[in-house]
Amino acid sequence: MKIVTRDLLRLVVEEARTAPRLRRNHNLHPTDESRCHRLLNAIEPASYIRPHRHLDPEKDEGFILMGGRLGIILFSDSGAVTETVTLSHENGNLAADVPHGVFHTAVSLESGTIFYETKAGPYLPLTEAETASWAPQEGDGTVPEYLERLRTILDSCHR
């Protein structure tokens, strides 16, 4: 049995803080080929997850907040925001399930944010149809400005 402890959460958060992309996965599933992926995902506020979708009808994606605050944003195919939620222990929103085929991103709203993520495997790199052409690519110079816009959207929707 694998047990998620506070010490493990602290370790994954610390690893995210020093990782080049400011995030760290800790897989609970044995391999990328596993049919069910379960992992801890620690993400710092300056980390960017490009909006994407999973077209496989089995790849709904679940998020359960373990610590910190996490914003989740859903988008239309053209990039318009369709739904937002802030997961936080303070507001009582603790989990979200994103259906397959829907563009989405997750935004860390405070240092030390970590969540339990589930989705169907196996791991396959995103295809061109699964990445949001209307959002900057990771590493693009406009990412910090885009992340700030996403935070502003979350702030205005969840006051």
Query: Could you tell me the CATH number of the domain that includes residue 75?
Result: 2.60.120.10
What's the confidence (pLDDT) of residue 158?
62
Half-sphere exposure of 100 (CA within 13 A, CB side): 12
- Domain assignment present for residue 133? The answer is no
Q: Render pLDDT for 73-97 as a digit per residue (tens, 0 to 9).
A: 999 999 999 999 999 999 999 999 9
Which tokens in the block code for residue 34? 């596993």
Name the residue range of residue 40's domain. 6-125+140-157
Residue 1 lies in a domain: no
In a domain, 89, yes or no: yes
Residue at 126: amino acid letter: L
The burial class, CB within 10 Å (0-12 / 13-18 / 19+), for 80 is exposed
**Which residue numbers in the chain have pLDDT < 50?**
none
Cα 63 to its chain centre, rounded Å, is 8
**Cβ proximity of 63 and 114 under 8 Å:** no
Please indicate, yes or no, if residue 67 is contained in any of the structural domains. yes
Instruction: Give the count of domains, the chain.
Output: 1
- In DSSP notation, 93-135 reads B-EEEEPTT-EEEEEE-STTEEEEEEEES---PPPGGGB-TTS
Residue 130 belongs to some domain of the structure: no
Residue 18 lies in a domain: yes
